[in-house]
Amino acid sequence: MTAPERPPRRKWLPDFSAWGFSRYERRALWFLTALVILGSGYRYWQHQRLAKTLALWVTPADSAAAAALADFGSPAPVIQPVNLNSATAAQLEALPGIGPKRAADIISYRDKHGALRSLDELDNVPGIGPKTLERLRPYLLLDDSVSVTAASEKVKQ
């Protein structure tokens, strides 16, 4: 009695045996191919994540950084400097790290104590510490014509 004949095996992968590869070499080739494809996908994902992260930290004065982000394919955000003494809650919320609660706190402080004379007064607002203040400096004005960072750079010179 002879064993029943097996149906032909489906070959959904190309047959590399024509090139002289053994069964184990073919498996190794498929493994390496899959590894290259997965690695390329991971690298692309990292690239996109980095572009989004960098876009959050570009200041209007960083034209070189904005140009570098254009190479990443991510548009650089345009955040206009805000005059603290006349800004609305919506304008303050557009600043990085400022939400509705902090914007309301800044306006409340400004209404209670009058116009801000220096950016360092923002340190008195609850929820705004030295790190937040330093991150916001490039976006803040106390006067409509001169940014505080530009004025502080003139003083240093």
Q: Are 85 and 115 in contact (CB under 8 A)?
A: yes
Q: Are 88 and 142 contained in the same domain?
A: yes
11 part of a folded domain: no
Q: What is the CATH number of the domain that holds 107?
A: 1.10.150.320
What gap in Å lies between CA 34 and CA 52, rounded to an integer? 27
Q: What is the pLDDT of residue 154?
A: 41
Q: pTM for the full model?
A: 0.45
* Domain presence at residue 157: no
More confident residue, 49 or 68: 49
Report d(CA 104, CA 87) in Å as an integer: 11
Quick check: is 77 in a domain? no
- What is the domain extent for residue 139? 82-148
Residue 31's pLDDT band, with cuts at 50, 70 and 90, is: very high
In a domain, 6, yes or no: no
Q: Is residue 125 part of a domain?
A: yes
DSSP count for the chain of H helices, then E strands: 6, 2
Q: How many domains does the chain have?
A: 2
CA dist list (Å): 129 to 97, 111, 133, 134: 11, 20, 6, 9
